[in-house]
Chain A
Amino acid sequence: MYRGVRYALTACLGIAIGFTLERFGFGFAGPWRRLIRERQGQGVLAQCVAIGLTAIVIQPLIASSSSLLGAIAPISLTMILGAFVFGFAMQLILGCGSGTLVNAGSGNLIALVALPAFCVGSFLGTLILPAAMASTPHVAISLPETLGVPQSLLVTLLGLVALAWWATRGQGGDRWNRPLLIAALCIAALASLHVLIAGQPWGVVYGLGLWAAKMAMGLGWEPSAAAFWVHPINAQALSNSVLTDTTSLTDFGLIFGAALAAWKGAGKTPLTPMVRWWLYGAIVLAGLALGVSSRLAFGCNVGALFSGIASGSVHGWVWLVAAFVGSVGGVRVRDWLWQRATKTEAA
């Protein structure tokens, strides 16, 4: 009677998240860019609200049920390097994990070019991850397990308040942006429902690597030689349909949800940006870098930053710092690149 209900609900959650992100302009790469360039922290404040509300719901839930799983990942040198590169590359294409899917769904040609490379990069990352893990110590720290849920929540919320204060300090005008706060409330509700329904927090990049791995299998690649893919969880994901994989379902949903939200306005916007052809080569490289780095960093802005911090994983906070430092460089390089790539009438 209930066959496939969980999969349908997960896909619907993805559609709702994609619609919300596109409709309200809620994101990660863009707000970080505005904070770095213009000292405007409203978007980062909204991110903190969304993560904090999600943490309040999911940390007690995960601790109380053996059927639910938190987004806890290890910290290491290669993980920090991965997060740094991800932060740098996401500014080049102005699309993070969720942002690239939402932008692709809204018909953005840059994201459509970057997305296949992102998938391939994520798959390549799975091939080098075991070697990266063997090369440096990896230590996972779960705040709920180490401190207990009330103390973990307190530490998480205090950290988010400090981050929100830092991001909006000295900002002229209103700190609170109403549409972004509405989006933050919606995203927090949907991310909490995701844990209840799927049993694990919202993620993006696992699905992208899985799609490329399945394509590689079709081309003759043998997964039994890859340490990542012989693990029972991943081997099962490879052998099962993508329609039963949680992150694939939400990823598909994100694209469809963004497409629904963008369709009306998309009829008035040109498909091709006025940029020189060589920029697409840089975008493909950035997409590959996003994929590889997000695998080494155990997630992107969603799986590592949003869901990691909300779950009480210290790795999420380390990811945040490393990726933000990378973003500072990425913003500068993007401005330089786009200045040279943008076609002018005189050119």
Chain B
Amino acid sequence: MTRRLGIAGAVLLVALIIASDWIFGGAPNPYRAPDPIAWGSSSGASGAICTFAPPTPGQ
């Protein structure tokens, strides 16, 4: 067994995540897509980012 099996496993993992999300959560809504690039558009960043810090009371 070579690493190609591992590569196939990784690609399969991604496919499973996308497929299960599609099946249980629904497909992307093409009518809610943002502008092609965020820079200079009215639809900017989503804000769903690693540095996201939920506001806490008193801070």
Contacts and interface: CB of A to CB of B under 8 A. Distances in A.
Given A71-B51, A201-B49, A134 B56 contact: yes
Interface string A298-336: 111011100110000101000000000000000000000
Given A9-B37, A259-B11, A263-B4, A67 B53 contact: no
A334 B13 CA distance: 27
Contacts of B27: 241
Interface stretch (A37-45, A105-113, A174-182): A105-113
B49 A269 contact: no
A59 interface: no
Contact of B24 (A9, A67, A218): A218
Given A112-B9, A244-B33, A270-B3, 10 more contacts: A69-B45, A73-B53, A107-B4, A107-B5, A197-B37, A206-B48, A218-B24, A243-B28, A266-B7, A270-B2
B3 A108 contact: yes
Interface in B32-54: 33-54
Contact of B50 (A197, A218, A302): A302
B10 A105 contact: yes
Interface string A214-237: 110110000000011001011011
A200 B44 CA distance: 8
Report the interface size class on chain A.
Answer: 35 or more
A339 interface: no
B15 to A, nearest CB: 10
B4 A6 contact: no
Interface string B3-30: 1111111110110011011101111101
A68 B54 contact: no
A75 B4 CA distance: 42
A189 interface: no
24 contacts: A3-B31, A6-B36, A9-B37, A65-B40, A67-B45, A68-B38, A68-B45, A69-B44, A69-B49, A71-B50, A104-B10, A130-B56, A199-B39, A214-B20, A217-B24, A236-B48, A237-B48, A242-B18, A247-B50, A256-B11, A259-B7, A263-B7, A266-B7, A271-B5
A205 B50 CA distance: 6
Given A233-B46, A252-B14, A109 B6 contact: yes
The interface residues of chain A, by DSSP majority, are classed as: helix
B5 A206 contact: no
A199 B54 contact: no
A300 B50 contact: yes
Interface in A35-66: 61, 65-66
A106 B3 contact: yes
B7 to A, nearest CB: 4
Interface in A1-21: 2-7, 9
A137 interface: yes
Contacts of A217: 24
A168 interface: no
A54 B9 CA distance: 33
